[in-house]
Structure 1
Amino acid sequence: MISLYAHAGGDEGLHRLEEIFYTKVLQDPLLRELFPERRPTHVDHLTWFTAESFGGPDRFTRELGFDYLIGVHRHLDISDEQRDRFVELYMEAFDEAGLPGDEPFREAVREHLEFGSRVAQQNSRAVTDEELHPLREVPLWTWKEPDSPAT
């Protein structure tokens, strides 16, 4: 089974996607308060997280750890509208990045986004540690890859 990471084109494909996405959120009026300024490491961190979640190297866990991710989302109070816009812009970036457009891959990416954005939203609204989402490690996302063509 091919990983989502490999199908996306590895680090190169995912970095291209995250750069396009990050540029979009920085310019978006609704998301600007969540992303008020360009941080030099943000695209790399996004790439590391997505790569690890899609079955690639575990750099995010080794270099930053999941507690880092919880910390950056705490107290952002992400609205439903912001969460929806985040997913919308990510899928726009996905289309613009030239990643494979097959429906099984596209659906897996969308499901990953929907899940992850809900975790981030819950953590952004948590007042106490008990209100945080129970996820404490980068999830490994899988998919039902398309059947291989006959040779």
Structure 2
Amino acid sequence: MTRPSIFEFAGGEPAFLALAVAHHQRCLQDPVLNHPFSHPGHPEHEQRLASYWAEVFGGPARYSQSYGDHSAMVHIHAGQGMEEDLGERFVRCFLLAVDDAGLPEDPEFRASLAAYMRWAVRDVLTYSPAGSRVPTGLPVPRWSWDGPQDDTPA
């Protein structure tokens, strides 16, 4: 029997939008993450984030088709000189937002989400020092129950 994608198991696009909204709220409540998250960003930030995560976890390629590739996403965050514990705080907010969004409590599902977010934070933080250059043409990573797929580095 074939397992559904993480995207399908989570509940599809509505689940990822709920996750993005809950994550944004959690970041606003964090005393360190509040600063970058409280500045006006793109008016569709939560929808874009939901589309990105949905695509990562096996959903439609709406982010890639509408907003660009992984390089475009990383470029938004590059060169920001992040504080040391920012990544840890971001992951913690994400994991709490999974609960806030009412996503399935399945341990394997939750472990997959957590593993992805830890990988994603490490990846983005690689480009946080001032002057960092993001390679062009990086595809949106794909993540499954078994971890990174296709050309996504582990």
Quick one: which of 66, 77, 80 aligns to 1:73? 77
Q: How does 1:77-116 map to 2 (within 5 A)?
A: 77-116=81-120
TM-score by length of 1: 0.86
State the Cα distance separating 1:134 from its structure 2 match. Answer: 8.6
Q: 2:57 aligns with which of 54, 57, 61?
A: 54
Segments of 4+ moved more than 6 angstroms: none
Shift of 1:75: 1.6
Q: Which residue of 1 aligns with 2:19?
A: 17
Say if 2:7 is the partner of 1:8: no
Contiguous gaps of at least 5 residues in structure 2: 147-154
2:141 alignment partner in structure 1: 139
Say if 1:119 and 1:133, in contact at 8 Å, map to a contact too.
no
Question: How many angstroms apart in 2 are the aligned matches of 1:134 and 1:84?
Answer: 27
Residues 55, 140 of structure 1: 8 Å contact kept: yes
Q: TM-score, normalised by structure 2?
A: 0.84
**RMSD of the alignment, in Å?**
1.8
Residue equivalent to 1:148: none
Paired residue total: 142
Q: For residues 92 and 133 of structure 1, do their structure 2 counterparts lie closer, same or farther at Cα, with a shift above 3 Å needed?
A: farther
- Match in the other structure for 1:118: 122
Letter of the 1:6 partner, please give it: E
Aligned-pair distance for 1:77? 1.5
Runs of 5+ consecutive residues of structure 1 not aligned to the other structure: 145-151
Identity of aligned residues (%): 30
Partners of 2:79 and 2:132 within 8 A in 1: no
Task: Report the AA paired with residue 77 of structure 2.
Answer: H
Shift of 1:135: 8.1
Q: What is the alpha-carbon distance in structure 1 between the residues aligned to residue 130 and residue 21 of structure 2?
A: 29
